[in-house]
Chains A and B, each alone.
Chain A
């Protein structure tokens, strides 16, 4: 089985976000970029599946030049080759899905894996949209995935429990934390990844149908009330929660 893993480069989660002067994006100055953490679970799962049954893992990413080092890292974590769909367009999730779908249709893949969401825009929908464009069965936010011949079962977390899905290959699955453990590549794997082929193709994302007008930092909270007398302050705190904040009833 050949697997395509779609990954995205995102600012590290420890990034202190600054908004750029145009108010439409975050400033990239001083930001360190990493492979989206949820995509790393997808990479590990792809490696596990092809390790058991054979087949190749192709990393596919859409992004500007700065993505290149993370393409190598992604291959070291569990790939055989990579396709870099290069663009500096912003687009929107649908337009990115469209170029990914074209690339996937042109290849020979039975399974597409990715993280459930990018920790940058938090749109959480690439798998669903890609699945619709490809016309393949889809499960988003999977914590468990098993493949037996053409039969696929996947489990997702839902409010108050889990949902068990059934579908067939070809399929699109997005990974929730728990699907697989992220792999920290060895030096040897990193060296090997340097020799793996990366195909670079220029793409255009067109005009987005959904756009950002303005970014702001979240509204600041006024300074809160700080208690420093330990347990003696607890009755007052509970009183405030009941009567001032009115957030507890008991």
Chain B
């Protein structure tokens, strides 16, 4: 069996948390298959990610820092990584299901005439066969899937596997093949949000509001609770359709599917398409006046009461200990 390759994301060489999770998942799978983990990072400062790649389980690390890959280009980055895969004959290629990972990996898998298993929750090895569990219908269904041949392409949902340090070190080398062509599509600018808010898809904690919030003017309590917890703000489709919140915050089948450690649903009744997007959260707190609201069926802790009483009280309690 051949080695696993993890495509890392970093900021000037500093490894992203999601990539540490992907390395951890790769290391566990590799141990079951008796193979090793390789890792690759691209772009400015990529080489600096090598030490962390080793700590989180990689035995070999490749950096691609050519001037041509300074900015993200899905086609050119895919060409470079595909060259590495062909050279080293990797069996499984893993990335995190971030916006970049979900964009890049299918570009690579297409070069091997394969699709990518996106947003995977779990990778198991069953008598030498890799079984991939991923949600479909925004989580209404979990499917156990497999590739019929190598290489296999997987993006791992953020927060699905907690990162673990194994304390090793990786043999590091630069790689520069596959970059003969020019980028067809390239990022020319990254525009950072003024608000510096955490995105729902990568947050450990999400505080969400729904129709029960009554209007956008009532959102400051949601934002204050989220700030206290270091959480992201989420919203139901009803709140987004009403124009109360931006669609980037929408959680559900036509928004984002999330798996945070803690999901606090305020004034959300729990339409099936919303539940699909958040029911794989580790802990769910529901606050709703209606005791029959479907959200209580998935809640670990439910408070049947007016959110406008409960949320301010939660803020008060949390402030007490700060």
Contact = CB atoms under 8 A, between A and B. Distances in A.
Interface stretch (A1-9, A64-72, A183-191, A224-232): A224-232
Contacts of B19: none
Contacts of A207: 148
Contact of A212 (B113, B144, B273): B144
A135 to B, nearest CB: 8
A148 interface: no
Interface stretch (A45-53, A75-83, A125-133): A125-133
Interface string B81-116: 000000000000000001110110111011101111
Contacts of A92: 115
Interface size class of A (residues with CB under 8 A): 35 or more
A120 B137 contact: yes
B184 to A, nearest CB: 4
Given A131-B75, A228-B304, A231-B313, A125 B102 contact: yes
A123 B114 CA distance: 12
A226 B302 contact: yes
A140 B103 contact: yes
B191 to A, nearest CB: 4
Contacts of B103: 128, 140-141, 156
Interface in B60-80: 72, 74-75, 78
B187 A122 contact: no
Interface in A200-250: 207-219, 221, 224-228, 230-231, 233-235, 237-238, 240-241, 245, 247-248, 250
Given A161-B190, A231-B305, A216 B142 contact: yes
B8 interface: no
Given A37-B254, A250-B318, A129 B109 contact: yes
A17 B313 contact: no
A122 B305 contact: no
Interface residues of B, number: 98
Interface string B228-254: 110000000000000000011010111
Contacts of B136: 120-122, 215
Contacts of B191: 155, 161-164
B304 A238 contact: no
Nearest to A232: B313
Given A119-B254, A159-B99, A11 B137 contact: yes
A213 B145 contact: yes
Contact of A13 (B254, B298, B304): B254
A94 B113 contact: yes
Nearest to A153: B188
B145 A248 contact: no
A149 interface: no
Nearest to A116: B102
B192 A161 contact: yes
B146 interface: yes
A227 B166 CA distance: 42
Contact of A26 (B141, B189, B309): B141
Nearest to A245: B283
A158 B291 CA distance: 37
Candidate in A93, A164, A217, A248 with the most chain B CB atoms within 10 angstroms: A248
Interface stretch (A54-62, A104-112, A165-173): A165-173
A19 interface: yes
B258 to A, nearest CB: 13
A201 B229 CA distance: 55
Interface in B132-186: 134-149, 184-186
B257 interface: yes
Interface of A: 11, 13-17, 19, 26, 37-38, 92-94, 97, 119-125, 128-129, 131-133, 135-141, 155-168, 171, 177-178, 207-219, 221, 224-228, 230-231, 233-235, 237-238, 240-241, 245, 247-248, 250
9 contacts: A94-B113, A122-B119, A124-B106, A128-B106, A140-B74, A163-B191, A167-B184, A228-B304, A240-B301
Given A131-B107, A159-B99, A211-B146, 7 more contacts: A125-B116, A139-B74, A140-B102, A216-B144, A218-B139, A241-B285, A250-B229
Q: Top 3 closest A-B pairs, CB basis?
A: A125-B106, A132-B110, A137-B184
